[in-house]
Amino acid sequence: MYVPKEPQFADPWARQIKIGKISKLSTCKVHFPDPNKLHCFQLTVTPDEGYYQGGKFQFETEVPDAYNMVPPKVKCLTRIWHPNITETGEICLSLLREHSIDGTGWAPTRTLKDVVWGLNSLFTDLLNFDDPLNIEAAEHHLRDKEDFRNKVEDYIKHYAR
């Protein structure tokens, strides 16, 4: 009986991403723009529910030499109206913090799979209006949820297709 071999990856990060069952998330796709730089990859999140349904959001991830003692650096490349992501791409996600008061920040036991799952969750259960990075977006939601939804849809139409 033929048993397929596990793919061989020279780079441990590529192994984590490709074999780490990230593909089980139907809303996430990983892409390596430069196959010679496996420490840099892009993630596309396509939410299938909530405010951001129908959008395609690109994230750039760079895994530093000191990984896994420090978290990867992640930036959102898609302009977005979101309480936890600025329009310039900064992301508020506790597991990306090297030091965190609440203990939910980065730890050497975390993996790139955790990062991908966390970024995906920013569009669903981790969407946080109470502790925003983009205060204007959070206040907009508090003031007028329907207008907030309209602005999100407008951003998706213009920047996230």
Q: Please identify every residue annotated as catalytic.
A: 92
Q: What is the rounded distance in angstroms from the CA atom of residue 82 to the CA atom of residue 153?
A: 11
Q: What is the rounded distance in angstroms from the CA atom of residue 53 to the CA atom of residue 47?
A: 5
Residue 68: asked if its preceding bond is cis (omega within 30°), the reply is: yes
Amino acid sitting at position 140: H
Helix axis angle for 145-159 and 135-143, nearest 10°, is: 130
